[in-house]
Amino acid sequence: MEFMKNNLHAHTSATTTTTTTTTRLICQSVVRIAAHVHHTNCPMDKVYLRYDTPSEELHISFRYVNADLKLDREFNFCRRMSEKVEDALTRIRGNIEKELFKKAKKGKRKNDTQDTTELLPNALVDGKIEFLRGEQKLEDMTFIDILADTVDSLYLKILDRNFQVVINQPWPASGNLKQVKDWLHCGDGLFYNTCNEDVGYFLKLVLKPGNNQGQFGPSVEQISKGEVQAGPGTCPFETRHCFTKQRLKGNSWRMVSYNILADLYADSDYSRTQLFPYCPPYALKTDYRKQLIMKEVMGYNADIICLQEVDLKIFSFDLQPLLEDDQQAFKGLMAQKGTCGEGVATFYNTNRFDLIETRSFNIGENIKVTPVFSELWQKIQTNEKLAERICDRSTTLQLTLLKMKECEYYLLVANTHLYFHPDADHIRLLQFGLSMLYIEDMYKKLIKQLNLKDESQLAIIFSGDFNSVPECGIFRLMTQGFVGDDFIDWNSNPEEALVGVSLQQPFRMQSACGTPKYTNFTHTFAACLDYIFYQSDRLEVEQVVPLPADEELKSHIAIPSVVFPSDHVALVADLRFKNL
Residue 251 and residue 179 share a domain:
no
Confidence band of 270 (pLDDT split at 50, 70, 90): very high
Nearest CA-CA partner of 122 in 156, 90, 97: 97
Dihedral of CA atoms 197, 200, 202, 203 in degrees, nearest 10, equals 30
Q: Are residues 168 and 254 in the same domain?
A: no
Averaged pLDDT for residues 532-556: 98
Question: In which band, very low, low, confident or very high, does the pLDDT at 191 lie, cut at 50, 70 and 90?
Answer: confident
Question: 230 lies in a domain?
Answer: no
- Domain end: 223, 256, 284, which one? 223
* Torsion angle (degrees, nearest 10) of CA 507, 512, 410, 397: 70
Q: Are residues 466 and 496 in the same domain?
A: yes
36-40, 56-60, 350-354 — most confident range: 350-354
CB contact at 8 A, 463 and 415: yes
Where residue 43 falls among pLDDT bands split at 50, 70, 90? low
Residues 380 and 326 in one domain: yes
What pLDDT is stored for residue 44 in this prediction?
63
- The Cα–Cα gap between 529 and 419 comes to 12
Same domain, 218 and 251: no
**Contact at 8 Å (CB) between 120 and 104?**
yes
C-alpha span between 308 and 196 (Å, rounded): 32
Looking at residue 181, what is its pLDDT? 60
Q: Which domain holds residue 508?
A: 236-577
**pLDDT at residue number 176:** 52
Residues with Cβ within 8 Å of residue 84, at least 6 apart in sequence? 139, 140, 141, 142
Q: Judging by DSSP bridges, how do beta strands 252-259 and 330-336 pair with one another? A: unpaired
Same domain, 384 and 434: yes
Residue 184 or 265, more confident: 265
Q: Give the tens place of pLDDT for each residue, 477-511.
A: 999 999 999 999 999 999 999 999 999 999 999 99
Average pLDDT over residues 205-213: 84
What integer pLDDT is reported at residue 222 of this predicted model? Answer: 86
Q: Residues 366, 371, 372, 377: is their CA dihedral positive or negative? A: positive
Q: Would residue 228 count as lying in a domain?
A: no
Output the pLDDT for position 122: 55
**465 contact partners, CB below 8 Å, separation of at least 6:** 257, 259, 308, 309, 416, 417, 418, 520, 529, 530, 568
Per-residue pLDDT band at 12 (split at 50, 70, 90): very low
Q: Which of 169, 188, 223 is the last residue of a domain?
A: 223
Asked if residue 231 is part of any domain, the answer here is no
Which positions are annotated as active-site residues? 465
Residue 184's pLDDT band, with cuts at 50, 70 and 90, is confident
Output the CA–CA distances (angstroms, integers) from residue 496 to 425, 434, 499, in the order listed.
11, 17, 10
Helix H, strand E, coil C: the string for 89-129 is HHHHHHHHHHHHHHHHHHHCCCCCCCCHHHHCCHHHHHCCE
> Do 385 and 263 belong together in one domain?
yes
What's the pLDDT score for residue 14? 33
Same domain, yes or no, for 217 and 341?
no
For the stretch 329-338, pLDDT in tens is 999 999 999 8
Reading across the β-sheet that carries 184-188, which strands appear in turn? 39-41, 219-223, 202-207, 2-6, 184-188
- The structural domain count of the chain equals 2
Whether residue 385 is contained in a domain is answered as: yes
What is the maximum alpha-carbon separation in the chain?
A: 103
Instruction: Pick the range with the lowest mean pLDDT from 28-37, 100-109, 362-371, 558-567.
Output: 28-37
- On whether both 376 and 427 belong to a single domain, the answer is yes
The verdict on 240 and 214 lying in the same domain is no
Give the end of a domain, one of 166, 190, 223.
Answer: 223
CATH code at position 288? 3.60.10.10
Band (2; pLDDT cuts 50, 70, 90) = low
CA–CA dist 503, 140 (Å, integer): 83
pLDDT in tens, 378-428: 999 999 999 999 999 999 999 999 999 989 999 999 999 999 999 999 999
pLDDT at residue 331, as a whole number = 98
